[in-house]
Structure 1
Amino acid sequence: MKKFTLVFAFLVTVVSQSLLAQGNIDTKKFKFDMAIPEGYGFKQSEKDGFTKIEGYNAESDTKINAYAYMGAIDKSKIYAFGSKESGIEKKNWTSVDNGESENGFAWWEVYEAEVGEKMMYAVIAKNAYSEVYYMFYALATPESFEKFQDQYMEWAMSCQGIK
């Protein structure tokens, strides 16, 4: 099984299980679903045309963010936005996997990056049913990724495009 499929499956499971506990976040409005991992305080805002759903867990020192852009946008703008938000430039992202027609996404790309004390796993995707584009990422220290990798995988696998 490809590394992306494992990461993606993880994200989908965590988000689905925790979304009920986080009633103030309505991801369905933006045509995606994701689990909200336990112990994360999530908030929703708007930034540069993206709807931003961000969460942080102090115990694991981890940031988990999801972004949705409603309407057409060039991938390069998503990468630039993701670089700015994560603090890790696109040139440092390594492609891990990509594919089409899975988990409600027309296409998806998975990246990982490690710069200094920051490690990121990111998914860039387009909804299969609507003109909505996404970026999902988890940002933590390498030690946190190793220690909490099951939780990160669960969250990753919970992310999916919906009608």
Structure 2
Amino acid sequence: MWRGFFINWLASSPLLVNPVRASLMRLYGIRTTTNGIRPGCYFAGRDVVIGADTFINYRCFFDGSAPIRIGEKCGIGMEVLFCTSTHIMGSATERAGHVNPQPITVGNGCWIGARSVILPGVTIGDGCIIGAGAVVNKDCAPNGMYAGVPARRVKELPVEG
């Protein structure tokens, strides 16, 4: 209980400067070298890796049921939800069966728009853009723009050599 209090109340406070916030998150067990984590983020578990030079905007939610891996040089918009928990479909008397946590992986150089939802088991390839409000329920191939509910590839992005 105290660990959750520590990370989700103290470390998420807007009264802290970003380097102090990042140091507290590292003490909690979140593996990151970035200082670009804004206030109000919620971490339901510690198996989170955030790459160097990645920016996490205000009030993002990290469900900790399975590992979450975010690459380097990513931009994560406000209130993005990383949801690693789901259920096996149960019988008619209880549709939400046993919990079936699945990891989320975001490649390097990605940009995830505000209020996007990244669902369990999804891998977002390097260099992708996820449009604001998108619901990503399937893997995203590298260097594409994905948008909508559910998210679909709407544009090929240039690849620099």
TM-score, scaled relative to structure 2: 0.26
Structure with higher Rg: it is 2
Report which structure shows greater RCO (CA 8 Å, sep ≥6): 1
Structure showing the higher helix proportion among its residues: 1
TM-score, scaled relative to structure 1: 0.26
